Amino acid sequence: MKSLIRLRMSSHDAHYGGNLVDGARILQLFGDVATELLIMNDGDEGLFRAYDNVEFLAPVYAGDYIEATGEIISFGTTSRKMVFEAKKIIVPRPDVNDSSCDILKEPIVVCRASGTCVVPKEKQRKNQEVDCNGKANCNCCHMWRRGYEGK
């Protein structure tokens, strides 16, 4: 099961000189990816217990487009082991003009991480399809999940 979030880092995300984005902002994206994975798998947002590895590999600046992905790689009774990766896919080109950007031919991996999330047993709703109105076994959610996972 996989999840993907793509967004632009804004000037509000820049925390340091030179419009450098704080690495914690990327971890926040990983938290959102993890939450979506838990909702898709368990029907509950769960809790992020801990990262066991985080590697910041390249700088991120305001104006960069970041694609954050995650995947559940193993399951326990209440735990879900996940891996994450963030890539820079579009960069601003202020040297060309103030609104110019380039799509990178080869995305740049800016961060990799792994961690564990938990969903308490009593909150798990695994294999239960629920629509926006709380009705069980709705086709719209089931089809969305199957389509989203690429099956």
What is the 3-state secondary structure of 106-120?
Answer: EEEEEEEEEEEEECC
How far apart CA 116 and CA 75 sit, in angstroms, is: 10
**Structural domain boundaries of the chain?**
2-123
Question: Does the domain spanning 2-123 belong to CATH 3.10.129.10?
Answer: yes
Above pLDDT 70, what percent of the chain?
A: 83
According to DSSP, the β-strands at 79-92 and 101-118 are antiparallel
How high is the pLDDT of residue 63?
97
Tell whether the model's pLDDT for residue 110 goes beyond 80.
yes
pLDDT digit string, tens, across residues 45-68: 999 999 999 999 999 999 999 999
Q: Which of 29-38, 94-103, 119-128, 132-141 has the lowest mean pLDDT?
A: 132-141
